[in-house]
Structure 1
Amino acid sequence: MNAPAYAHPQATHTVPLGGARVAYLLVRSRRRSIGLEVGASGLTIRAPLRVSVAQIESALQEKAQWVLDKLAASALRVQQTPQVDWGQGAQLPYLGGLLTLQLHPAAPRGCELLAVGEGRWVLHVPLPVDALPASVRGQVHAWWLRHARLLLTQRLQRFAPDLGVQWRSLRLTNARTRWGSAKHDGGIMLNWRLLHFRLPVLDYVVVHELSHLRVMDHSPRFWAVVASVCPDYTRLRAELRQQPIPEWDL
């Protein structure tokens, strides 16, 4: 039997780990400690500038079983990721409910969203029912990005005063391993896929990134800032990590 292998698509280093081969992405920064992150793309290690690769991989060996368990769980989630059939009646998770696509040429240009029940929406897409999947995806994706920018802007405006911070700009991202980031200058990046989650989960990510405008690390002080506005962040963070979301690629 072949040993299991896990490879980050942007891997910079490879190491044998507990009977497996793990290709990981190493990111250097001005941080104080080595951090391990396992996401859908694989293992990312964030390390201080002056720490050697040998020291990094020694620390990795100490966490070998934890890393392998996380990688196996992540690989299983990827296998279970729902695929979207981009056509009439396709469904997408949306704000904790379901959004169904209805295709008809007379729909308003740019699509129209209608609430049809508790946790249920219909998105009217101006295309014929036999439209090509790429056309359907393109129309829905354009609408989704516009709606994501509007909703995420509203949530940033909602929580920034509670945290006593000012954000300057919002950029939408499609990163596979990060839901958001913040810069010292007030720039915020948020993943447009957050609209697949319940609003409280989305709000946790917004609060998380806004909190970085006060504390740029993940120290206890940072988590205290998050908890001041989002006291159940631990549960919401777990939900963010565990819920599979659909693959948009054709």
Structure 2
Amino acid sequence: MSPLEFAHPKATHTAPLGSARVAYWLVRSSRRSIGLEVSDSGLTVRAPLRASMANIEAVLQEKARWVLTKLGERETRNQQVPQIAWQHGAYLPYLGGVLQLHLHPAAPRGGELLTVGEQRWALHVNLPTDAAGASVRAQVNAWWLRHARAVFTERLQRFAPELGVQWRSLRLSNARTRWGSAKVDGGIMLNWRLLHFRLPVLDYVVIHELSHLRVMDHSPRFWAVVASACPDYARLRAELRQHPVPDWVI
């Protein structure tokens, strides 16, 4: 039986861990200790500039069971990620419901979103019904980004006064493992994939990042600020972590 293999797309080194071979990304910096991080991309090892490979490999062997468990969980999670068929009639999860793609040359060039039922929408895209998948994805992506910015802006404006903060700018992100961030200057980053989730889940992330404009850590004081505008934040946070979002690749 061939060994299990896990590979980070930026892998620089490979190590045998148990019955598996793990290709990992080694990042050196001025940090003081060796740290291991497993994300959707794979294993990243962060090490001091002067750490020897022998020390790094010793830490990997010591933490081998933990690494393999996390990598296995990542593999299972990735296998559960729904795929999008970029064609006429395809479905995408949208705000907790379903959005169906309709391709036809008479559709508005920027795309048009129509409500067709409870938690059901149709997105009309200016393309022939037999358009190539890459073209469909490109047009839907352009509409999605514009729409995400509009929805996020409306929700930021809705909750900022309630939290007593002012946000200054909005940036959209495509990160695989981070849903948002906030800077002390009022800059907010939100992941455009949040449009796949129910509005209460999206609102939790918006409130979370706005709350950082009052408290920049995750102390009890921070969570009290979040709870003041989103009392059900714990359940919504769990929902955000548990539901896989579709893969947008062709």
Deviations 1:88-108 (A, max 9, x none): 101000000110001111112
Structure 1 position 124, deviation (Å)? 0.8
Residue in 1 that maps onto 2:226: 226
Structure 1, gaps ≥5 residues long: none
Q: Is the partner of 1:100 in helix, strand or coil?
A: strand
The answer as to whether partners of 1:11 and 1:26 remain within 8 angstroms in 2 is: no
Q: Is the partner of 1:136 in helix, strand or coil?
A: helix
Structure 1 position 245, deviation (Å)? 1.4
Superposed CA RMSD in Å reads 3.1
The answer as to whether partners of 2:24 and 2:45 remain within 8 angstroms in 1 is: no
Residue in 2 that maps onto 1:154: 154
Deviations 1:14-41 (A, max 9, x none): 66656553625659699x9998764322
In 2, distance between residues paired with 1:193 and 1:134? 19
What are the within-5 Å matches in structure 2 for residues 48-127 of structure 1? 65-127=65-127
Closer/same/farther in 2, CA of residues 210 and 35 from structure 1, 3 Å limit: farther
Indicate the percent of aligned positions where both proteins have the same amino acid: 73
Q: Is the partner of 1:138 in helix, strand or coil?
A: helix
Residue in 1 that maps onto 2:246: 246
Closer/same/farther in 2, CA of residues 226 and 245 from structure 1, 3 Å limit: same
Structure 2, gaps ≥5 residues long: none
Per the normalisation by structure 2, the TM-score is 0.83
Q: Is the partner of 2:175 in helix, strand or coil?
A: coil
Which entry has the higher C-alpha Rg, 1 or 2? 2
In 1, distance between residues paired with 2:28 and 2:132? 40
Residue in 1 that maps onto 2:212: 212
Structure 1 position 69, deviation (Å)? 3.0
Per the normalisation by structure 1, the TM-score is 0.83
2:183 is matched by which residue type in structure 1? Answer: K
In 2, distance between residues paired with 1:170 and 1:5? 39
Structure 1 position 59, deviation (Å)? 8.2
